[in-house]
Chain A
Amino acid sequence: SQQGEEDPQALSIQEGENATMNCSYKTSINNLQWYRQNSGRGLVHLILIRSNEREKHSGRLRVTLDTSKKSSSLLITASRAADTASYFCATDAGETSGSRLTFGEGTQLTVNP
């Protein structure tokens, strides 16, 4: 079953604007990861945030995690047309679960030039 739920399902913005995507989950996690998928391709790992972290940055990416609300957000600042892709959150419950990832439904981001 899909644990993660993401919103919005689709987001269309202009180049230079910021894009924010949200993810909610249901069970306890060891870490939460964000992945990007270009159309028809495999997924690429973007960033990982552990359950004891609240915020993490990587270049133009900023991820927050609120374990009390079981939610995370991904912010892409100063977006570019090349950021157009689907973005997925994935929760990892740890080694006791076989280090499985449970993916959300994804947010389709379109950045217009």
Chain B
Amino acid sequence: DGGITQSPKYLFRKEGQNVTLSCEQNLNHDAMYWYRQDPGQGLRLIYYSQIVNDFQKGDIAEGYSVSREKKESFPLTVTSAQKNPTAFYLCASKILAGGSNEQFFGPGTRLTVL
């Protein structure tokens, strides 16, 4: 099956701990994105990457870090510097050139800080 997967579905973290959220796609998409969604609100962009070994900050990058060592993978680390990390995290991907411009979303990871 082709698609974009995120793991785990639920994640619990103690304050002061770093945690890494996984995002993998087998769609051969060029660009990948990480969003944060708080209850009853829209999505806010954390980081995005258009090519391997390169990424850019989005609107709310503070307290987060990413890497793009492989085209298929774009893990997000939520560091202890993120003041309010409890949220729903969504990963997305898209083709850049010649594509339909739509983004394909994973099922999300719900992170709760205890």
Residues of B within 8 A of A101 (CB): 33, 43, 45, 103
- Chain A residues, Cβ within 8 Å of B90: 42-43
- Total A-B contacts with CB atoms under 8 angstroms apart: 64
Q: How many residues of B contact A (CB 8 A)?
A: 29
In terms of DSSP, what is the predominant structure of the interface of chain B?
Answer: strand
Q: Is the beta-carbon distance between A45 and B104 smaller than 8 angstroms? A: yes
Question: Quick check: B100 and A98 within 8 Å, CB to CB?
Answer: no
CA A100 to CA B45, docked complex, whole Å: 8
With a cutoff of 8 Å between Cβ atoms, the chain B residues found around residue A92 in the complex are 101
> What is the CA–CA distance of A88 and B59 in the complex, to the nearest angstrom?
18
A99 at the interface (CB under 8 A from B): yes
Q: Judge whether A33 is part of the interface by a CB distance below 8 angstroms.
A: yes
Contact indicator per residue, chain A 22-46, by CB within 8 Å of chain B (1) or not (0): 0000000011010100001111110
- Contact across chains for B42 and A103 when beta carbons are under 8 A apart: yes
With A48-B100, A88-B42, A103-B42 known as contacts, the answer to whether A42 contacts B48 (CB < 8 A) is no
- Per-residue interface assignment for chain A, residues 66 to 108, with 1 indicating a CB less than 8 Å from any chain B CB and 0 otherwise: 0000000000000000000000100010010011111111101
Determine whether the beta carbon of A41 is less than 8 Å from that of B41: no
* Cα–Cα distance between A98 and B55 once the two chains are bound (Å): 10
Contact partner of A100 (CB less than 8 A), chosen from B40, B41, B58, B102, is B58
Q: List 16 A-B contacts (CB under 8 A).
A: A2-B44, A35-B105, A42-B105, A43-B90, A43-B92, A43-B103, A43-B105, A48-B100, A48-B102, A100-B58, A101-B43, A101-B103, A103-B42, A105-B41, A105-B42, A108-B40
Q: Using a CB–CB distance below 8 Å, which chain B residues touch chain A?
A: 31, 33, 35, 40-45, 48, 50, 56, 58-59, 88, 90, 92, 94, 96, 100-108, 110
* Known contacts A41-B108, A101-B43, A105-B42, then 18 further A-B pairs from the complex at CB < 8 Å, ordered by chain A residue: A4-B42, A35-B105, A40-B88, A40-B108, A42-B107, A43-B90, A48-B101, A95-B96, A99-B50, A99-B94, A100-B33, A100-B48, A101-B33, A101-B45, A101-B103, A103-B35, A103-B42, A106-B40
